[in-house]
Chain A
């Protein structure tokens, strides 16, 4: 971006400002850098120049700001309305919708929503699919994958064979809670697959599928909320030097299964899996699901009620079925206990639900990270590592895992895949 310093004007003694900061820093009344006053601009603009800067009355400045914000609000009414809808249910959300709803109506009436829509379609980020309004997610399982497609992928970078590796779509950063949308193009959902099973099959360890090789590595895709960030990095560190594994991760901060109006994860899964064609899918949700939901019938399922549990079970099952479509193996990462009380209580229900749903599906393996990170179900920040030394496993928020915590659970996460594809940690 161009430098934003002011133009340099000589002061009364002819000295030029040494640096742009000198030009910026004029102390009113100091007299050191006062530039000659030029002839006033035409009356209707009333801009004058003092010290190299164009200055106007405060009222005009305020009018410009207000008018810009009003125009901006009309131009961006759709995204403002969406932002309001994404708020947790409550008075703030109601108030925001009361403002943005009419704004959106006016914007659409005069067509002011069109420029943003066009620009976003042409060059905007891929925010992923979302349902209109805080409605329920798809109640059909979309499948966008050609059943005849070969899941074997090109080798990853560094392999002896030809190049063509994958790039992780997103990952953690030092910035707290970053937004990390993927950028792959959406695929068109195809016909729904049959309804999920309702009876539990015999429990068995994951059956071997094939032996992963350098020429035909196993492709793993991981999806979830922000909690997945460091978890994916931990698994990545385990397999980084193993050319038999290709790993992609796509985590979306602030999303989950509870709010499809923010991101419709089943639909997003269908798009991503059709494009990426993995053999194994890891899923991790729950960090943002401790909130009320809207059922397909339109009623509100309040957190902590049987209705909420039933609706969450339906959504978990749906996500599992989408992920397992087309013969994929699914690993559902069960979360440990969290420190915040509300999330801890809801998390226990989420874990039970996910475990139950996984048990109904032979292709799904449930990995309980709580057994490693919170033995006994009680939240703890530090756990004993493999060598007995204390490991600081949680970030200061009591929810996200540290890198050390992610490294602790990585072997358990990799184990199902290793069993199915004939390899262990290299």
Chain B
């Protein structure tokens, strides 16, 4: 069931008080939360719950199997254990985590990529003149499979790296099935969630104002802003690009940049808010991404939980920035391409990821050149992963220009925004040809300036809102927090009124549901 629906409101109204009433009984609370989360997931399709249950059981067994291989320990901590034994255990752990990860990726690959691989292979063979039919199974993609698979992988890999001890099957079930983040993130790691699960949430201290604020903001962004821009500008442009003039197409692309931000950040705001009311804190997923002054900066602000996951579980294992310049560029590009593929089984997503990978590599190259001219004194030391940061952390060891005028900063913001928008065209288009056609309209389209002024206004307001300081928002929220219950309820009811009056009839699924 979707968050902004009456059905979900009724569901949550039952879950919220029951959760707090059961809080003094940890086991009952866990069982209740698992049942509620499975009920939430089963509302889409009860078959999906079988897959989720299998993932929970399989990853629990896999993590225990990895742990049973024995500890490797930390040599630097003075562990003088037998080196041969340690190496043997390391190898066993390595093999077992490889099997467990492969099993997870096989399931994800089957549901998500089997059809794509089949079709692509068939097309390639056909292009080579080989008339061979490659099976391309048409499998329905279970909602949220990419998200809970990545969360499960974070658990087993952190167990392998000895950053986490295995937990009980019930705790793992709560973590993987927890309904606020189940179907479209944020990607909460086991190391972030399980400690909160072990400490009883204090019913006297619920961050309700922040939670309700996020839910309200998310509703407005998703139901009003995103839906409006999709209907008024984006869907018509991408359906019939030839019917649009150049400026119209440009505005439509800007509108998509805002649509996808409003849709996805709106959903994760709601997810974070719902979790806060239940006593859990999720990491933030967005931080004003369109204020970014470079692509590196953009990835420190956009889908931060995914970019952190890719950094820690893909980029770093590939070698990261160790191994020289060209290997770093390769690792960066490969990580972004795979990140693009994670979003969907289509060449458009691969191209989207490749564009970002290439952009990041080029940026790094330019910065290294500038640093080379300025001297090593400006180089930052290699940083350990910083919580909440994205790709930018691993690139912070590249020299960064620190002296910029306001004009130069704004110029970089504008350039970065447009680079991101070009990539978004591939993300949104149904095909590579379609993306090229839309971009072609911007360059070659002539004629009309029949642009909807409301669309332009909404885009401008949403971009401007990204520059409102967090401290200002915090101060406003602190004022609201001091209001009595009735006033706060009235404010939230007013938001519901606005969302209902200005939103479309019916609710479109969130864009990231398809990932």
Interface residues in chain A, defined as those with a beta carbon under 8 Å from any beta carbon in chain B: 1-8, 18-22, 24-30, 41, 44-45, 47-48, 50, 52-69, 71-72, 75-76, 79-80, 82-83, 115-116, 119-120, 123-125, 127, 156-159, 163-181, 183, 229, 232-233, 236, 240-241, 246-247, 249, 253-254, 262, 381, 389-390, 392, 396, 403
Contacts and interface: CB of A to CB of B under 8 A. Distances in A.
B244 A249 contact: no
Determine the main DSSP class of A at the interface with B. loop
Contact of A56 (B209, B244, B265): B209
B468 interface: yes
A176 B509 contact: yes
A307 B141 CA distance: 39
B238 A392 contact: no
Contact of A63 (B282, B468, B485): B485
A159 B513 CA distance: 40
Nearest to A253: B506
Contact of A1 (B227, B265, B388): B265
A167 B248 contact: yes
A174 B209 contact: no
Interface stretch (B154-162, B372-380, B398-406, B490-498): B490-498
B492 A18 contact: no
6 contacts: A18-B386, A79-B500, A157-B446, A175-B508, A247-B243, A392-B136
A67 B235 contact: no
A5 B470 contact: yes
B201 A170 contact: no
Contacts of A233: 239-240
B501 A116 contact: yes
A61 B227 CA distance: 29
Contacts of A241: 242
B31 interface: no
Nearest to A52: B474
A183 B228 CA distance: 10
A3 to B, nearest CB: 5
A168 B388 contact: no
Interface of B: 6, 9, 13, 16-17, 20, 119, 126, 133, 136, 138-140, 192, 195-196, 199, 201-214, 217, 220-221, 225, 227-228, 230-232, 234-236, 238-245, 248, 262, 265-266, 269, 272, 277, 279, 281-284, 286-288, 300, 304, 386-389, 428, 430-431, 445-448, 450, 462, 465-466, 468-475, 477-478, 481-486, 488-490, 492-494, 496-498, 500-509, 511, 513-514
A179 B506 contact: yes
B484 A45 contact: yes
Nearest to A41: B482
Chain B interface helix/strand/loop/mixed: helix
Contact of A157 (B232, B234, B245, B282): B245
Contacts of B431: 403
A115 B240 CA distance: 37
A165 B243 contact: yes
Given A8-B470, A175-B511, A396-B138, A168 B389 contact: no
Given A67-B485, A120-B501, A240-B240, A7 B6 contact: no
A50 B388 contact: no
Given A60-B206, A72-B493, 8 more contacts: A7-B478, A19-B389, A24-B283, A25-B281, A27-B199, A67-B486, A157-B245, A253-B506
A83 B6 contact: yes
Interface centre among B136, B240, B471 (most CB of A within 10 A): B240
A24 to B, nearest CB: 5
B501 A119 contact: yes
A279 B7 CA distance: 43
Contacts of A174: 428, 430, 511, 514
Contacts of B212: 61, 64-65, 68
B497 A76 contact: yes
Given A21-B284, A83-B6, A175-B509, A4 B387 contact: no
A96 to B, nearest CB: 8
Contact of B243 (A5, A8, A60, A167): A167
A156 B430 CA distance: 24
B205 A50 contact: yes
A75 B499 CA distance: 11
A19 B231 contact: no
A421 to B, nearest CB: 18
A26 B508 contact: no
Contacts of A229: 239
Given A21-B283, A173-B234, A72 B209 contact: no
A28 B201 contact: yes
B501 A158 contact: no
A381 B137 CA distance: 11
B213, B242, B243, B490: which has the most chain A beta carbons within 10 Å? B243
Contacts of A116: 497, 500-501
Given A27-B199, A44-B484, A58-B203, A1 B221 contact: yes
B13 A165 contact: no
B509 A54 contact: no
A127 B502 CA distance: 11
Contacts of B208: 54-56, 60-61, 64
Nearest to A125: B504
A177 B203 CA distance: 40
B170 to A, nearest CB: 20
A176 B221 contact: no
B272 to A, nearest CB: 7
A382 to B, nearest CB: 9
A80 B496 CA distance: 12
B76 to A, nearest CB: 23
Contacts of B494: 75
A65 B277 contact: yes
Contacts of B239: 168, 170-173, 229, 232-233, 236, 249
Contact of A4 (B16, B17, B213, B238): B213
Given A19-B386, A123-B502, A175-B514, A157 B244 contact: yes
- In this complex, the member of B388, B469, B472, B477 whose beta carbon has the largest number of chain A beta carbons within 10 angstroms is B388
A66 B212 CA distance: 12
Contacts of B242: 157-158, 236, 240-241
A3 B138 contact: no
Contacts of B119: 392
A171 B209 CA distance: 39
B473 A4 contact: yes
A246 B282 CA distance: 50
A382 B185 CA distance: 35
Contacts of A53: 207, 209-210
B427 to A, nearest CB: 9
Contact of A47 (B243, B281, B462, B481): B481
B231 to A, nearest CB: 5
A183 B6 contact: no
Given A3-B288, A54-B481, A175-B230, A61 B277 contact: yes
Contacts of B492: 64-65, 68, 72
Nearest to B16: A62
Given A7-B475, A8-B471, A174-B511, A18 B288 contact: no
A63 B487 CA distance: 12
Contacts of A119: 497-498, 501-502
Contacts of B488: 64, 68
